[in-house]
Amino acid sequence: MILEAHAVAPFFKNGFVVGCERTREGVIIDPGDEVDVLIAAVGRQSLSVKYILLTHAHVDHITGVGPAKSAFGAPVYLHRDDLPFYERAVQQGQMFGLSVQQPPPVDVFYDLSPMKFGDYEVRIHHTPGHCPGGVCLEIRDEDTHLFVGDTLFAGSIGRTDLPGGNYDILMRSITQVLFPLGDEAIVHPGHGPDTTIGRERKANPFVLEYLEQP
């Protein structure tokens, strides 16, 4: 499987290109400010992008949707519960003092059924808590790859102090939706380095604190 991650200032939010080496079909995940790098990667890998997939609609994860849509013409997917955030992209940008263009409309809401590209499929897991419409995108080759957005990070967890955030719901998503996907599963967070479910289950201080609660 072809897999590239790229991030640029100011958010250093990871955007991903995932592709099938046989059919050259691929997907883009969370195009943000690094979208030009993602578009170049797609060209270099000779991929045809079938879907633009969003883990959630915080502004750092969607600023590249417009250019990605123009470049590839592929449909944009989001969980329905994050539509209110998506529709307020401009206002989200203003919160960070950034001028952001409103991205093109969402084409499809995830219905949680698997989506095929080439020899692979994307399985959708609803993981609210960081925001109401957060999802984990699962793609398997010989490994299980989890694109978790801002739900879980290496050694940390997503913030829950933003509108629509909820700590208990987030911890339930992490421990009851992500953890059952297996200790070996590779976690690709929205920010920072990769990790694994096993490492976070055993050593993530926020997870340990939650699990130790009476």
Note the residues at the interface with Zn ion (CB under 5 A).
13, 58, 60, 150, 190
Helix (H, G, I), strand (E, B) or coil at 175: helix
Min dist CB 11 to Zn ion, Å, is 6
Q: Which of 5, 17, 118, 12 is nearest to 72 (CA)?
A: 17
CB of 56 to Zn ion, least distance (A): 6
End-to-end CA distance of the chain: 42
β-strand pairing of 144-149 with 186-189: parallel
| Residue 6 or 58 with smaller CB distance to Zn ion | 58
Residue number of the CB closest to Zn ion reads 58
Closest separation between CB of residue 86 and Zn ion, Å?
Answer: 12
CB 73 to Zn ion: min, Å: 26
Backbone angles phi, psi at 20, to 5 degrees: -95, 120
Shortest Cβ distance from residue 157 to Zn ion (Å)?
A: 12
3-state secondary structure of 115: strand
Contact 88, 100 (CB under 8 A): no
With respect to Zn ion, which residue has the nearer C-beta, 71 or 170?
170
Q: How far apart are CA 40 and CA 47, in angstroms?
A: 10
- Give ∠ CA 123-143-204 in degrees, rounded to 5: 85
Closest to Zn ion by CB, 141 vs 194, is 194
58 versus 145: smaller Cβ distance to Zn ion: 58
Decide whether 60 or 138 has the Cβ nearer to Zn ion.
60
Q: Which class for 149: exposed (0-12), middle (13-18), buried (19 or more C-beta within 10 A)? A: buried
> Could you tell me the smallest distance in angstroms from the CB atom of residue 152 to Zn ion?
12
Nearer to Zn ion, 60 or 81 (CB): 60
- 8 Å CB contact between 126 and 177: yes
Q: Which residue has the tokens 């990605």?
A: 68
